[in-house]
A and B are shown apart, each in its own frame.
Chain A
Amino acid sequence: MMKSIFPHPLLSVALWLIWLLLNNTVALGHVVLGALLAIFIPWFSAGFWQEKVTIRRPWLLVKYVFVVIYQILVANMMVARLILTNQEKLHPGFLSVPLELTSPLAISLLANTISLTPGTVSCDLSEDQKSLLIHALHIEDADAIITEIKQLFEKPLKEIFN
């Protein structure tokens, strides 16, 4: 019964929160309207969500968000310095990161995270979804960058989604 009303509970909660944030209010009318939207939109868009999204450890997801925010701060300053210093010293390059993640949502989250932490932009996912091609603005030690991505971002995502 619950499952047929909420095929994707997480999507419903997210839609409801976004509706309330959009209207910047918690007035009763909007709470009810938002709830209706949160029920009906997942019904109609169910075809796009073939897989059921489950978050196994929500606490880890919260921790992950803070790790990413911190990494964004650090990486922003690093790249600002790279841009303002001598351009001749920059050695850009492509790196291939082997993936252990299998869920499409987890892979897209990882790719988004990689692009958000400046200095690296994800470019392409291989056909077999086993590796992600990224472009780095400046490479000193290619292996170090790959290890960092795997340790900081892929490991927690794997624990959360797989």
Chain B
Amino acid sequence: MLDIILSILIIVGAFFTLVGSVGLFKLRDFYMRLHGPTKASTLGVGAILIASAIHFSVKTGDISLHEVLVTLFLFITAPVSAHLMAKAALHIKVRQDKRTLNKSDQD
């Protein structure tokens, strides 16, 4: 039973990580591609970390909470790096997709 739950969590995590990577490949401009990795690192990694926490808590008998920290640090750092990349891209005026609404001031 436990194995089934863990498997489902890992598959869900892998699926969202894959979708994030597909997004990175398929989306049209830099700003849209930023959405891929920020997403993969929330639900995708989150699900895998929950699976890891459950697995090691049950296996060793001690509650394993490292994963909570990994999640916390990830949730703090991922948006900050995305923000910095977006800010830098705006600064050097990276090309924006032609269908972008309200294009930020560009030549």
Minimum CB–CB distance for A131 against chain B, Å: 12
CA A147 to CA B34, docked complex, whole Å: 23
A116 touches B75 (CB 8 A): yes
Task: Scan residues 3-48 of chain B and give those whose CB is less than 8 A from a CB of chain A.
Answer: 16, 19, 22-23, 26-29, 31-32, 34-36, 38-39, 42-43, 46
**Residue B101 CB within 8 A of the other chain:** yes
CA A79 to CA B19, docked complex, whole Å: 9
Q: Which residues of A contact B65 (CB under 8 A)?
A: 21, 24
Minimum CB–CB distance for A121 against chain B, Å: 5
A122 touches B86 (CB 8 A): yes
A interface list, Cβ under 8 A from B: 18, 21-22, 24, 72-73, 76, 79-80, 83-84, 87, 90-96, 111-116, 118-119, 121-124, 133, 135, 137, 139, 142
B interface list, Cβ under 8 A from A: 16, 19, 22-23, 26-29, 31-32, 34-36, 38-39, 42-43, 46, 62, 64-66, 68-69, 72, 75-76, 78-80, 82-83, 86-87, 90, 97, 99-104
CA A115 to CA B66, docked complex, whole Å: 24
Q: Which residues of A contact B36 (CB under 8 A)?
A: 83
Extra inter-chain contacts (13) besides given A80-B39, A94-B100, CB under 8 Å: A24-B64, A24-B65, A72-B42, A76-B39, A76-B43, A83-B27, A91-B99, A92-B97, A92-B101, A93-B100, A122-B82, A123-B87, A135-B31
Q: Which residue of A lies closest to B87 (CB)?
A: A124
B78 touches A115 (CB 8 A): yes
Contact of A121 among B29, B42, B46, B82 (CB under 8 A): B82
Q: Which residue of A lies closest to B41 (CB)?
A: A116
Q: Which residues of B contact A93 (CB under 8 A)?
A: 100-103
Q: Which residues of A contact B104 (CB under 8 A)?
A: 94, 123, 133
Q: List 20 A-B contacts (CB under 8 A).
A: A21-B68, A22-B69, A76-B43, A80-B16, A83-B36, A84-B22, A90-B28, A92-B99, A93-B100, A94-B104, A115-B79, A118-B35, A119-B35, A121-B38, A121-B83, A122-B82, A122-B83, A124-B90, A135-B32, A142-B101
